[in-house]
Amino acid sequence: MAKLKQTDTSESSVDIAGLIRSHLRGFQTALILLLMVIIMSFLSPAFLTSRNLINIVRQISIIAVIGMGVTFCIITTGIDLSSGSVVAFAGVVAASFGGGEHPLIAAIFFGLLAGAAAGFLNGTFSALGGIPPFIATLGMMQAARGMALIYSDGRPVTGLSPTFTFIGGGYLFGVPVPILIMLAIGLVSHILLKKTRFGKYVYAIGGNRQAALVSGINVKKYLVLVYTYAGTLSAAAGIMLAARLAAGQPTAGVMYELDAIAAAVIGGTSLTGGIGTIPGTIIGALIMGVLNNGLVLLNVSPYAQQVVKGAIIVAAVLLDTYQKRQKT
């Protein structure tokens, strides 16, 4: 009897230790962000000012919005390499309706529609056509960039109305509009992922696709929806960028897809699927923003900044791999 009690106590302590480790892992990216803020505030007096901090959040808002869509894709064990090009395509489409001759809602609608169409094609080619997401979205990366150049005739789309540019440079209640848009999209995406059937199916597909199929989930349908949503969020980011630049640039968004993937991975989204959160992706984008801003304030070479960013991405993947091994 005493041995039984001892065993129960031992198992209980192991369970508690496991719960504590799991809880700490959930907050590790937030702790890393806090540590970076503290370090940067000591290294540069200009860092910890309200103006600089707001500027950081405003700068990462576009990458964070793209990263939210990419998070959905990665959770399903997929990827989206087309998001940077979709940003440019949706930006020039929205800008072409943003000169004041059309209502603002038309510019937003057609911009989002362009991104949703690109995402729908990504999902269709991948889920229904059987093409690996890497290849399908790589093809769309080239196609969307080409469509942006064709649509704009290779030139920036200018002459945007103040109503349109307000999206990228205005303030509402003293807060930059891009930050409010990022928070609103983040809230919607978090609810979709955590509180709806759609989100549960996304995790199920990423956790075990075969089991999801057996349980009756229409995997192909939900994969198409995931990529359509990712394309829509890339389009939203493209509209924000065009409004901030006061022009639809067909060459905009280069390498944004890699920054978005990095934000998701740094924020705890597992490249092997089934794991990821929207708050984590936002924190991952903030980590990148703090790092970039801090290195600029410290006058670090832009080339060295790329090396540091690459090292952090590799470290995040190594940490994810290590945690996977620990669980098994």
Q: How many CB atoms lie within 10 A of CB 168?
A: 22
**∠ CA(78), CA(81), CA(87), 5° rounding?**
125
Q: What is the pLDDT of residue 315?
A: 81
Query: Among 10-24, 34-48, 178-192, where is mean pLDDT lowest?
Result: 10-24
Give tens-digit pLDDT for 171-218. Answer: 999 999 999 999 999 999 999 999 999 999 999 999 999 999 999 999
For 241-292, the pLDDT digits (tens) are 999 999 999 999 999 999 999 999 999 898 889 999 999 999 999 999 999 9
> Mind listing the pLDDT tens digit for each residue in 109-161?
999 999 999 999 999 999 999 999 999 999 999 999 999 999 999 999 999 99
| CA terminus-to-terminus distance, the chain | 31
Confidence grade of residue 19 (pLDDT, cut at 50, 70, 90)? very low
Question: Are 125 and 131 within 8 A, CB to CB?
Answer: yes
The Cα 181–Cα 107 span in angstroms is 16
Domain boundaries, the chain: 66-264
pLDDT at 65 over 50: yes
Nearest to 156 by CA among 257, 59, 87, 242: 242
* Listed range (54-63, 96-105, 299-308) with the worst mean pLDDT: 299-308
pLDDT (mean) for 91-116: 95
pLDDT reported for residue 23: 43
pLDDT higher than threshold 50 for residue 13: no
257, 141 Cβ separation under 8 angstroms: yes
The DSSP code sequence of 116-146 is HHHHHHHHIIIIIT---HHHHHHHHHHHHHH
CB 75 within 8 A of CB 223: no
